[in-house]
């Protein structure tokens, strides 16, 4: 992972104040939203506000632009806008992607910018593998609100009704080496609820979480970063394995557990992730 995606903050593109504020927020990435966070009558004004805001300095934060779906009345104008940004966005996020052909269509209209896909429809879940395999795709974002609406599922703290969809998308993203971030936690004043959902997402293997409010940033940043204990253990595992290898052994033992080359790969990834996070701060 070249950069971390622990915290991916949605900002309505019509909200000039929030887009300015984001230059100083501890988000790893920003999604400038032209879709659900912008009222139908505000779409053109939001595009204009966003054109101005993309002149701001967002530092190392990834700038992701979410356009409206290409089947909507705003989609094509959004895509033309995205295609004209000349490097001022790092990726364009396509909502409600059902299949790889949806990405072909977006790729033809937006030739030079990496694409990300919102994974939030039942067909998208079933076609996650072909979506993740798309050559222009760099990342996937779970859209758990839309998915819950389509499934007619109920909110549960353990997200049991979401597990099949989350799992399919995770498998697809990991199989094709793509970034994948978890869906939003709507109750933005409920810190304990957010922390629990972040921990669940981290345990499952998500790279980070999409967020809707700055108050959620610190919790996501902490949950998706390697802990000090994980970093320290990774260093000791690498050292012990190198020592074992030098002695002609294929296995080391650290804290009573075996360490093989696959564990060393995980340890190195942990250290790489910690370094990428440190680079964000520096």
Q: Does 121 bind ligand LIB3CWND (CB under 6 A)?
A: no
146 is in an annotated binding site: yes
Gyration radius of the chain's alpha carbons? 20
Of 106, 21, 60, 94, the C-alpha closest to 282 is: 60
Which of 98, 146, 197, 207 contacts ligand LIB3CWND by CB under 6 A? 146
Q: Does 144 bind ligand LIB3CWND (CB under 6 A)?
A: yes
Give the separation between CA 85 and CA 32, rounded to whole angstroms. 13
Cβ-contact 33, 12 below 8 angstroms:
yes
Of 85, 20, 10, 9, the C-alpha closest to 47 is: 85
Nearer to ligand LIB3CWND among residue 124 and residue 183 (C-beta):
183
Please list every residue from 131 through 160 that binds Mg ion, using CB under 5 A: 143, 146
Of 94, 28, 13, 78, the C-alpha closest to 58 is: 28
Q: Does 120 bind ligand LIB3CWND (CB under 6 A)?
A: yes
Per-residue contact flags (x/-) with ligand LIB3CWND for residues 148 to 177, judged by CB under 6 A: ------------------------------
Report which residue's Cβ sits closest to ligand LIB3CWND.
145
Degrees (nearest 5) of the Cα angle 186, 35, 112?
A: 120
- The two counts, helices (H) then strands (E), for the chain are 12, 10
Binding annotation for Mg(2+): 120, 146
Q: Give residues in contact with ligand LIB3CWND (CB under 6 A).
A: 9-12, 17-18, 21-22, 33, 36-37, 118, 120, 143-146, 183-184, 188, 212-214
């Amino acid at each position: 992972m070249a950069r971390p995606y622990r915290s991916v903050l949605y900002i309505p593109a019509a909200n000039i104040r929030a887009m300015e504020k984001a230059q100083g927020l501890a988000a790893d990435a920003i999604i400038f939203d032209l879709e659900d966070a912008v009222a139908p009558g505000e779409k053109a004004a939001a595009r204009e506000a966003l054109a101005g805001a993309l002149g701001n300095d967002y530092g190392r934060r990834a700038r992701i632009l979410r356009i409206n779906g290409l089947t909507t009345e705003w989609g094509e104008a959004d895509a033309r806008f995205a295609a004209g940004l000349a490097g001022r966005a790092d990726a364009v996020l396509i909502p409600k992607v059902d299949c790889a052909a949806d990405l072909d269509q977006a790729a033809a209209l937006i030739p030079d910018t990496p694409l990300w896909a919102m994974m939030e429809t039942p067909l998208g879940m079933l076609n996650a593998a072909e979506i993740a395999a798309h050559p222009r795709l760099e990342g996937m974002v779970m859209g758990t609100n839309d998915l819950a609406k389509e499934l007619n599922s109920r909110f549960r703290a353990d997200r049991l009704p979401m597990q099949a969809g989350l799992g399919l998308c995770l498998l697809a993203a990991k199989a094709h080496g793509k970034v994948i971030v978890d869906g939003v936690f709507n109750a933005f004043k409920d810190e304990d609820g957010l922390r629990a959902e972040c921990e669940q997402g981290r345990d499952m293997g998500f790279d980070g979480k999409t967020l809707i409010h700055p108050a959620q940033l610190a919790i996501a940043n902490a949950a998706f970063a390697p802990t000090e204990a994980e970093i320290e253990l990774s260093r000791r595992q690498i050292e012990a394995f190198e020592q074992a290898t030098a002695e002609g052994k294929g296995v080391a033992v650290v804290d009573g557990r075996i360490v093989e080359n696959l564990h060393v790969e995980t340890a190195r990834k942990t250290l790489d992730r910690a370094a990428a996070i440190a680079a964000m701060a520096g």
